[in-house]
Chains A and B, each alone.
Chain A
């Protein structure tokens, strides 16, 4: 399929289903914990981040981003997780007995948890961690492992990344620590009994993976459209409980392993030009010497020049 042909007009849509990849996780099916109930106990980790509409600014000492007086909100990917948990309950296919929102961070995370509960989470746990010593992905994963075990969660719906540090590691680390199957970047989640089918968008197509509970799913942008918290639900959320816990309660050490050396603003963008169409763009790129000898790739791939000058990740169809 990956033809070396470089015909410009070749349009190929890849829709390769990889449902059979289960074999990778089948080994785990035999060791389902005995306490597994038929209903879903969903753990939704949420993070308080600088609001997506705010332009982050590097602080004067170049050690991080200015957070004082900056609007924060619920990480958009975590909104998707909460929404999906609530939709799983609304679909009524598999009973959902618990939707637990969890956050580790400064006192103001309580607001983030209230938002999660206004969107439909049943309850919340907050582990207070000082704002200037945030947990690293591994620390969060260790903490989530302890929470998932203690709360007997059988499904963890977690955003594929937080928009502040963009690490994109926590879900995967958690799966490793728990020894549970994982499906990353979900664009569709279907649960039938204890079988979970997850569709994920990959370059030029979709992957479908299947596993059995308990499992980890990381959520991606096209999974759903999160609802706005309605006023009656905001009021109801006020009556829901936020349990306060500490790292010690879960026996987790929040020590950091990484040290931030320096944080810098990206170089300012230089003005661009406009082209009429795809052909115009291609010839412009050629003219500027910023494209390889061949034209637009017939298949999706990342191509970069040895000097890293340009990364082209496109098919003709999605350019148009």
Chain B
């Protein structure tokens, strides 16, 4: 599977990376081919048109895509680990039947939790849902930093149905792109992962039928925590893939092309040690990612592992992709190859799905709990 995705990424995505980054938009043909390859329904069972693979397979896919383009990788990551998983886990039978086949074969999904005033403090969200007399729900509010919004047809939206209960009033709903009152307000211009769309999305009294409530009333916050814990492993995989892609790109250059003082620059010991150190760090990060995935798969508690994997992978990605530019000299600095893009892309790893400080807080809290007597 890894080989198949890697080959696909190299030949189908690879040639478009630079143009998509410059144009700050995702080529629709790339999204189409992701669906064709089954990369948008990795964990969706075969009966719904998915590949019926496991979480680790999703991680492998995300990592392989990120090696070539972290923007394409995050589209696949959010869709699989947040949107598909949410419906698979908590959707009703009717909801699964309605949405999973679409999500596996043709419709991109988005996950709408963050808002202008609630990021790390996600449950301070202000989007409101009210129940109408007919039993349907009406959603009002504004969401920010919504990945895939431009490409998506299905949105999982977190809104507070009973604000008096605080975060325990939060519920999750499914909104479709065509629903009245739904609109994309603004597409952000970003430093990195520029081909991946990130938007402000408005819900202006969007009415959804009662059956679009995802899971149970008031359990939205639980779902969000659970999904983001898993999702972090996906982002960690995106970051290790990115680091590997940046490293390989530079390694090929310094060990095959670039000569100075009569020898390949990669043959100088100072360079060799840096390359070896960086590769070691990538391997360590990957071991953490796959260990977190293994624990998740085995039903063990993986919250701390996921937090550490995401924290460390994003740090490694930033460091290695930055060094890779230096190893390549001028050729790393120009907007021709992928070197400078990988470095720009790495920055988001320390921000989304829980900033590095939030990951550290999570780890520290769990450790303190364990070591407090």
Q: Which residues of A contact B (CB under 8 A)?
A: 73, 115, 118, 228-235
Residues 2-59 (chain B) with a chain A CB within 8 angstroms: 3-4, 7-8, 12, 36-39, 41-42, 46, 49-53, 57
A235, B51: Cβ atoms closer than 8 Å: yes
Q: Once the chains are docked, how many angstroms separate the CA of A137 from the CA of B134?
A: 75
Q: How many A-B residue pairs have CB under 8 A?
A: 41
- Please indicate the chain A residues that have their CB under 8 angstroms from the CB of B1 in the complex: 231, 234
- Please indicate the chain B residues that have their CB under 8 angstroms from the CB of A230 in the complex: 4, 36-38, 51
Our pick among A228, A231, A233 for the contact of B7 (Cβ within 8 Å) is: A228
A232, B8: Cβ atoms closer than 8 Å: no
B38, A232: Cβ atoms closer than 8 Å: yes
A118 in contact with B3 given A230-B37, A231-B39, A235-B46 (CB within 8 Å): no
- Please indicate the chain B residues that have their CB under 8 angstroms from the CB of A118 in the complex: 4
The 5 closest A-B pairs by CB, nearest first: A231-B38, A231-B51, A230-B38, A228-B8, A232-B38
- Please indicate the chain B residues that have their CB under 8 angstroms from the CB of A232 in the complex: 38, 41, 46, 49-52
B46, A231: Cβ atoms closer than 8 Å: no
B53, A235: Cβ atoms closer than 8 Å: yes
Q: In the complex, what's the smallest C-beta–C-beta distance from B44 to chain A, in angstroms?
A: 10
- Please indicate the chain A residues that have their CB under 8 angstroms from the CB of B8 in the complex: 228
A228, B4: Cβ atoms closer than 8 Å: yes
Q: Once the chains are docked, how many angstroms separate the CA of A63 from the CA of B117?
A: 69
Please name the residue on chain A nearest to B104 by beta carbon: A232
Q: Which residues of B contact A (CB under 8 A)?
A: 1, 3-4, 7-8, 12, 36-39, 41-42, 46, 49-53, 57, 61
Q: Once the chains are docked, how many angstroms separate the CA of A118 from the CA of B8?
A: 14
- Please indicate the chain B residues that have their CB under 8 angstroms from the CB of A234 in the complex: 1, 4, 38, 51
- Please indicate the chain A residues that have their CB under 8 angstroms from the CB of B38 in the complex: 230-234
Besides the contacts A228-B12, A231-B1, what 10 more A-B pairs have beta carbons closer than 8 Å?
A: A228-B4, A228-B37, A229-B4, A231-B37, A231-B38, A231-B39, A232-B41, A232-B49, A235-B46, A235-B51
B36, A231: Cβ atoms closer than 8 Å: no
A-B contact pairs, 16 of them (CB 8 A): A228-B8, A229-B4, A230-B37, A230-B38, A231-B1, A231-B4, A231-B37, A231-B38, A231-B39, A231-B41, A231-B42, A231-B61, A232-B52, A234-B4, A234-B38, A235-B53
Please name the residue on chain A nearest to B7 by beta carbon: A228
Q: Once the chains are docked, how many angstroms separate the CA of A232 from the CA of B50?
A: 6
Count chain B CB atoms within 10 A of each CB in A228, A229, A231 and give the residue with the most. A231
Q: Once the chains are docked, how many angstroms separate the CA of A230 from the CA of B35?
A: 9
Q: Once the chains are docked, how many angstroms separate the CA of A233 from the CA of B41?
A: 12
A73, B3: Cβ atoms closer than 8 Å: yes
Q: In the complex, what's the smallest C-beta–C-beta distance from A215 to chain B, in angstroms?
A: 31
Q: Once the chains are docked, how many angstroms separate the CA of A233 from the CA of B8?
A: 14
B53, A231: Cβ atoms closer than 8 Å: yes
Q: In the complex, what's the smallest C-beta–C-beta distance from A196 to chain B, in angstroms?
A: 30
Q: Once the chains are docked, how many angstroms separate the CA of A267 from the CA of B7?
A: 31
Q: Once the chains are docked, how many angstroms separate the CA of A231 from the CA of B42?
A: 7
Please name the residue on chain B nearest to A51 by beta carbon: B3
Q: In the complex, what's the smallest C-beta–C-beta distance from A49 to chain B, in angstroms?
A: 14
Q: In the complex, what's the smallest C-beta–C-beta distance from A302 to chain B, in angstroms?
A: 32
- Please indicate the chain A residues that have their CB under 8 angstroms from the CB of B7 in the complex: 228
Q: Once the chains are docked, how many angstroms separate the CA of A230 from the CA of B8?
A: 9
- Please indicate the chain B residues that have their CB under 8 angstroms from the CB of A235 in the complex: 46, 51-53
Count chain B CB atoms within 10 A of each CB in A115, A118, A233, A235 and give the residue with the most. A235
Q: Once the chains are docked, how many angstroms separate the CA of A118 from the CA of B52?
A: 14
- Please indicate the chain A residues that have their CB under 8 angstroms from the CB of B49 in the complex: 232
Q: In the complex, what's the smallest C-beta–C-beta distance from A195 to chain B, in angstroms?
A: 33
Q: In the complex, what's the smallest C-beta–C-beta distance from B287 to chain A, in angstroms?
A: 20
Please name the residue on chain B nearest to A119 by beta carbon: B4
B3, A231: Cβ atoms closer than 8 Å: no
Q: In the complex, what's the smallest C-beta–C-beta distance from A5 to chain B, in angstroms?
A: 42
- Please indicate the chain B residues that have their CB under 8 angstroms from the CB of A231 in the complex: 1, 4, 37-39, 41-42, 51, 53, 57, 61
Q: Once the chains are docked, how many angstroms separate the CA of A228 from the CA of B65?
A: 14
Q: Once the chains are docked, how many angstroms separate the CA of A229 from the CA of B4?
A: 6
Q: In the complex, what's the smallest C-beta–C-beta distance from A29 to chain B, in angstroms?
A: 41
Please name the residue on chain B nearest to A230 by beta carbon: B38
Q: In the complex, what's the smallest C-beta–C-beta distance from B50 to chain A, in angstroms?
A: 7
Q: Once the chains are docked, how many angstroms separate the CA of A115 from the CA of B49?
A: 21
Q: In the complex, what's the smallest C-beta–C-beta distance from A225 to chain B, in angstroms?
A: 10
Count chain A CB atoms within 10 A of each CB in B1, B4, B12 and give the residue with the most. B4
